[in-house]
Amino acid sequence: MELRKDPLTRSWILVGDLESGPAQPAECPYCPRPGEAGPPPIFSMPAGDPGSAHWGTRVFAHPDPLYRIEGDAQRAGVGMYDRMRTVGAHEIIIENPDHNRPLWVASDEEVERVMLTWARRIEDLKRDPRFRYICVFKNYGAEAGEEIAHTYSELTATTFIPRRLVYELRACSDYYQMKERCVFCDILRQEERQETRLIEQTPNFLALCPFAPRVPYEFWLLPRYHHASYEGDVLRSPLVREAAGLLRRSLARLVRLTEAFHLVLHTIPNTTARLTQDAKWVTLHDDYHWHFEVLPLVPKRVKSYSIKEVYFCPLSPERAAALLREAPSTAAPRDAQPDIR
């Protein structure tokens, strides 16, 4: 695999003839087994008191990574085109020792631990000047491309900034140039006033359906105060448990209505990275605002008319928010059933 730049959209695309990855082992390699020392984790966060022997989250290198840690990107031109090697990091975050305990079934404390694990890995990987962006995401459900049976999320560190982020960063910077205000803070104030697209608000966080959603039930979760950096905020904030609770309840509502989703965390790029030519991002800390985006995969019975050039969303965010508000914010009993390994 290699990275190629589309000269028209300026996005980097992973290209290659993919061979099928390693076969799934019969036994879950991420479930704790007494007396057995599996592969060493890159990072681990204990459950309960610091120094506790029980682990809460563990981070491993992805068994079949999209990006590899060794070497340099070796950006090169091929005639008018640009290409580079797939240098980066690809990690999996095992969210819980329990095989089948997704975030909306777990306790707020467990969700908080996952959120802190994401932040610690982002902060650590940003020390590597080769990496311009660290992307935390979660694919839930076979249709969303879930690869591992154990409850998990993923992270990639890349030598480029992903396309959607580039668009957002440009829009935020442009909006700030015009109004000297953060566009997300302005969105928050308007949504708080209008209320029709709110799913739930807590004193410091908000879950809402965006005004122009890409898919039915798309929702965002963001702090009601301004902060550009997720990791910079949550690693120093006393409010992580509050955000964790809102994330848990919002996902619990969502899985009552859809069967699969992508969750992605948007935070600022690595500002200390080499190759940072984006001098115009001088207002980054003032113009960007961290948030989660959750994009459900629509069940087949809901007709989707999405075409490549324009998003088509057959459910309004006002109606989606109403349905999400009505949905119970606790896990359905079937989710809590013990999984047969």
Binding site for Zn ion (CB under 5 A): 28, 30-31, 99, 150, 168, 182, 184-185, 226, 266, 289
Nearer CB in complex with Zn ion: 83/285? 285
Of 283 and 316, nearer to Zn ion (C-beta) is 283
Which secondary-structure segment (H or E) carries 220? Answer: strand 219-223
305 neighbors 314 (Cβ within 8 angstroms): yes
Query: CA 159 to CA 144: how far, in whole Å?
Result: 25
Q: Which is nearer to Zn ion, 31 or 332 (CB)?
A: 31
226 CB contacts (<8 Å, ≥6 apart)? 182, 184, 185, 286, 289
Cβ proximity to Zn ion, 58 vs 226, nearer residue: 226
Report in angstroms how near the CB of residue 110 gets to Zn ion at its nearest. 15
In sequence order, the 6+-apart residues with CB closer than 8 A to the CB of 274 are 129, 130
Q: Minimum distance between the CB of residue 38 and Zn ion, rounded to whole angstroms? A: 11
C-beta of 28: minimal distance to Zn ion in Å?
3
Question: What's the closest the beta carbon of residue 6 comes to Zn ion, in angstroms?
Answer: 20
Q: State in angstroms the smallest separation of the CB of 83 from Zn ion.
A: 27
CB of 54 to Zn ion, least distance (A): 16
153 within 8 A of 114, measured Cβ to Cβ: yes
Residue number, 274 or 341, with CB nearest to Zn ion:
341
Rounded CA separation 322/25 (Å)? 42
Round to whole Å and give the CA distance between 3 and 309. Answer: 23
- CB–CB of 252/141 below 8 Å? no
Nearer to Zn ion, 200 or 293 (CB): 293
